[in-house]
Amino acid sequence: MFPSAYKAIIASLPILLTIFLMAGLMWPAKKAMPLTWALAAFLAFSVWKVDVIRVLAASIEGALGALNILIIVFGAILLLNTLQKSGAMEVISKGFYGINPDRRVQAIIAGWMFISFVEGAAGFGTPAALAAPLLVGLGFPRSAAVMIALIFNSTSVTYGAVGTPIIVGVRNAVEGILPGTANIEMFLFQVGLWSAVFHLVVGTFLPLLAIMIMTRYFGKNGSFREGWKAAPFALLGGVAFTVPCFIIAYFFGPELPSLIGALIGMPIVLWAARTGFLTPRNVWDFPQNNKKAGETKTSQNHNHEKAISDETIEKRKISLSLAWTPYLLIALILVITRIPAFGVKGALQAWSISWLSILGQQGVDYTLQPLFLPGIIPFLLIALITLFLHKMSTKEAVAAWKTTLGQLVPATVALIFAVAMVRVMVQSGINRTGMESMLLTMSGFTAHVAGNLWPLLSPFTGVLGAFISGSNTVSNLLFGGFQYGIAEELHFSPSIILALQAVGGATGNMIAVHNVVAACTVVGILGMEGRIIRYNLLPALIYAAATGLLGMVLIHL
């Protein structure tokens, strides 16, 4: 029998390989995850002495579990692509012009509020890639636009597209290791609620932190103070999202906080910006032709972009209210189908497809509830309705589907093997050696080393997961079981520790390599990823450290 330290190192090899391949060699997830799954399967069979049939069954369980995620991804991205092809996103973008000339105010409206809404509706890396060009269109330097979009695409990411990082990511990570008497739905509810507590306290200050960094790196005077002067409006923007987010998490669970929170907060912030309520006295703008910031679009280019938008809108004849209608319908349907009082939730959950005891292995199960998956209702449903609502041509509809399917291919490979690897590590507890599962082996040793300091370190584990994978859902999948094991070992609240993981994973979105590359690509500054990560490292570390300190207080109280 190996000493505990060696066992822990061996058990962590799949995770270490993931970090090495993706963060070190910069491999995409679709190349790295098959290898890490293969290593996990080999270790489970050769070291933990798990039967081959169980390793295979666990891999099938993971692959099928990935299907649930992919259905959500498909529906969310299809809706976004449909709205882009119809011209609705151009109309929505144009709606942000002329609200307030102050760049600090614009960043909070088009960055913080709009990104939070898109994250709640679509998620999966789309918000920053969508908001960065919008900010460039408003006149932001391209690197400033990417930096702001990525910083703001964080707080709302804990809930992602209708709660996927928690409902799917955390669920798949802890299923099979929760005590038999535990109610997993209540556990996920608690994880979502504690996450909202952390964001309420820490996330409220993110808009202020972001604009202070913006004025420091991209202002004429290079000063944090110029961002600080907009503190009243920034804090209003923070509260306008985080308070509704907390209330929704408290009453309804982890599916709706980002979507509904942003829908409630956005009108408040827009009203304040239009009326001048709490806005800065002096208008702040970027210096012209800011070379340090990257190329700034000239007013001529800016006007040209607006003219293009005007032509698109005129041709399609989509009003601002009609452009927003699909998103409003999504919010309405989600509320109706997720709140039991309406009587729809049970009906949608009634039809399920299950495969229990896969390949005869007890405890290795899969269940799909097609009608209750948000990828189908409401995302796919509303995408189809939008074709008629926005009077789209067959060519435009086909283009939206082709684009979506093309985007789905790399995500499919990565998710299938990522979830399969996690399920193999979870199921490795049923073996002929008497050892605990690979995840619990890692957790036990880490708990012994970190001890009572773990709540402070827990968010950084989430940050690491998102940094290497570009996804909070995958971060929760990779480290959720590990975090749960540490919580149990140290007798900490598992729901608080998993909330620290979920908040850390959201924070890691600021510096996630995949997201940085995507956002830089869409605004045409590919090659500046290193600079963007350096800009965003400070707010990411501050957010994670503040969350960890708050976690220490809550845990030890």
Q: Using one digit for the tens of pLDDT, what is the confidence trace for 446-486?
A: 888 888 899 999 999 898 888 876 789 888 987 898 899 88
pLDDT band at 439, cuts 50/70/90? confident
Lowest-pLDDT range of 46-55, 348-357, 499-508: 348-357
User: What pLDDT score does 302 carry?
Assistant: 40
Lowest-pLDDT range of 96-100, 368-372, 445-449, 509-513: 96-100
User: What pLDDT score does 511 carry?
Assistant: 86
User: What pLDDT score does 296 carry?
Assistant: 39
| Average pLDDT of span 14-24 | 81
User: What pLDDT score does 23 carry?
Assistant: 67
User: What pLDDT score does 150 carry?
Assistant: 93
User: What pLDDT score does 3 carry?
Assistant: 65
Which 3 state secondary structure label does DSSP give 367? strand
Q: Tell me the CA distances in angstroms from 298 to 224, 301, 467, 481, one per residue in order.
A: 25, 5, 34, 50
Q: Tell me what percent of the residues of the chain surpass a pLDDT of 90.
A: 45
For the entire predicted model, the pTM comes to 0.77
The three state secondary structure string of 285-349 is CCCCCCCCCCCCCCHHHHHHHHHHHHHHHHHHCCCHHHHHHHHHHHHHHHHHHHCHHHCCHHHHH
Q: Is residue 2 over pLDDT 70?
A: no
Q: Is residue 7 over pLDDT 50?
A: yes
| Average pLDDT of span 264-274 | 94
Which residues face 366 on adjacent strands? 355
Residue 275 burial class via C-beta count within 10 angstroms: exposed 0-12, middle 13-18, buried 19 and up: exposed
The owner of tokens 């556990």 is: 187
Distance from the first to the final alpha carbon of the chain: 38
Q: What angle do CA 243, 337, 164 make, to 5 degrees?
A: 60
Q: Which amino acid is at 8?
A: A
Residue 232 is encoded by which pair of tokens?
């009243």
**Sign for the pseudo-dihedral over CA of 176, 178, 179, 183:** negative
Mean pLDDT over all residues of the chain?
A: 86
pLDDT in tens, 341-397: 788 888 888 899 999 999 999 889 999 989 888 888 888 999 999 999 999 999 999
Phi, psi of 368 (to 5 degrees): -125, 130
pLDDT in tens, 57-72: 999 998 998 888 788 7
Please check whether residue 107 is in contact with residue 125, taking contact to mean a CB–CB distance below 8 angstroms.
Answer: no
Residue 188 is encoded by which pair of tokens?
């996920």
Lowest-pLDDT range of 139-143, 223-227, 331-335: 331-335
Domains in the chain: how many in total?
A: 1
Full domain range(s) for residue 485: 4-556
Kind plus residue range of the DSSP H or E element containing 546: helix 529-556
User: What pLDDT score does 239 carry?
Assistant: 97
Q: Tell me what percent of the residues of the chain surpass a pLDDT of 70.
A: 92
| Average pLDDT of span 196-210 | 97
Q: What angle do CA 368, 261, 163 make, to 5 degrees?
A: 20
The owner of tokens 């979009």 is: 149
**The residue count for the chain:** 557
Please check whether residue 259 is in contact with residue 162, taking contact to mean a CB–CB distance below 8 angstroms.
Answer: yes
d(CA 423, CA 481): 10
pLDDT band at 124, cuts 50/70/90? low
| Average pLDDT of span 40-64 | 95
Residue 225 burial (CB count, 10 A): 11
